Structure 1
Amino acid sequence: MQATANDNRSIRAAHVAESAHSGEMEGLSVSAETEADAECYISGDIDAAEVVARTRLRYGLS
């Protein structure tokens, strides 16, 4: 059975929530820019690799 767009969106949203929670448990917070990237990921506009690339660029990581 093939996953639907809603299934994929739900899975991506769960990944984002788990990641945010993990960071919060470590005392970190999510920036507005990262939240915007997460929304693009959840909606399927970008993939996980693009989220990582944007985050690394934002914080000057190579």
Structure 2
Amino acid sequence: MDLNELYFRQQISLARAAGAASVEARYAHRELANGYGRRIEEAQAAARQPLREGIEA
């Protein structure tokens, strides 16, 4: 899954959390958004890694 899709899914999850009818649904959608956020951070870190290796060499 590329970054654009992760960002999209994160935003959809946040919107669904905001409009959730129950506390449980709100929590579930926020957890999904948090998971997408972690995957975004991991993808960004992985993308920066080759740059750091080039600087350190």
* Structure with greater proportional helix content: 2
Which protein has the larger Cα radius of gyration, Structure 1 or Structure 2?
A: 2
Fold conserved (TM > 0.5)?
A: no
TM range (shorter): 0.3 to 0.5
TM-score, normalised with respect to structure 1: 0.38
